[in-house]
Amino acid sequence: MIRVLLADDHRIFREGLKALLANISDIELIKECADGHEVLAALKAHPTDVAVLDINMPGVDGLEVTRQMREHHSEVKVLILSMHHEPHFIQTAIETGANGYLLKNTGGEEFCEAIRTVARGETYLSSEVTTTLIKGLQKKDKKVLTSRQADLSARELEVLRLIAKEYTTPQIADALFISAHTVKSHRKNLLSKLQVKNAAGLIRFAVENELLE
């Protein structure tokens, strides 16, 4: 039997989850809490396997409760159940010590499966949460790439675009009316500034930053 503590400041939401878990044979709801202070007090009195926490709660929010639980109740698994789907909230929850993250639009079957998964000591992220995290990381990577782009001169950007179009060194020299030696110098600078090893890396950078006309 998995002993679950549920914390959410909306009573009607707690009652809905309570009704759902009442029909699940291997999960027992042992305590309901309306805020973070109640959670921390309840953990001292009620042996708990999984704490299901909302992020937005009066007093002590779910993220702070998670931090304190990692210090004083590390054996209890934390499953965040929140309306927040922004990458910042998800990443912060995981870094703080949450074992799982679900959105409140999840279905009852997935909710129960998430509880079972974190109770086993595994991590559970819903598919929507995983997608949000990946998109957030992609945006972060793109910001890094864009910041590198800002370090390039206008001439280096021209050379980069032509390299991405598979122009040879002589062809680039002819197109830009510069010497082959100068082209090679620009290529060397591009490799250094963009921290890539070869032309394939330069082409990837150009494609990801939409530099091809």
Structure confidence by residue, pLDDT tens digits, 68-110: 999 999 999 999 999 888 777 888 888 889 999 999 999 999 9
Instruction: In the chain, list all ranges with CATH 3.40.50.2300.
Output: 2-133
Residue 213 has pLDDT above 60, yes or no: no
pTM for the full predicted model: 0.64
- Average pLDDT of the segment spanning 114-132: 88
The better pLDDT of the pair 7, 212 is held by 7
Question: Would you place residue 147 in the very low, low, confident or very high pLDDT band (cuts 50, 70, 90)?
Answer: very low
Assigned token pair, 15: 């009652």
Give buried/exposed letters for 154-179 (b at 16+ CB in 10 A, else e): eebbbbbbbbbeebebeebbeebebe
2-133 topology per CATH = Rossmann fold (3.40.50)
For residues 186-210, give the mean pLDDT: 81
What pLDDT, on a 0 to 100 scale, did the predictor assign at position 154?
A: 78
Q: Give percent of the chain with pLDDT exceeding 90.
A: 55
- Provide the edge-to-edge strand list for the sheet that holds 50-53: 27-33, 2-7, 50-53, 77-82, 100-103, 124-125
In 73-177, alpha helices (H): 87-96, 108-119, 127-149, 154-164, 169-176
Query: Which DSSP state fits 30?
Result: E
Mean pLDDT of the chain: 86
Of 57, 132, 127, 62, nearest in space to 97 by CA: 62
Cβ atoms 78, 66 nearer than 8 A: yes
Question: What is the pLDDT at residue 74?
Answer: 93
Residue 141's alpha-carbon distances to 69, 160, 213, in angstroms, are 32, 19, 22
Q: What is the CATH number of domain 151-208?
A: 1.10.10.10
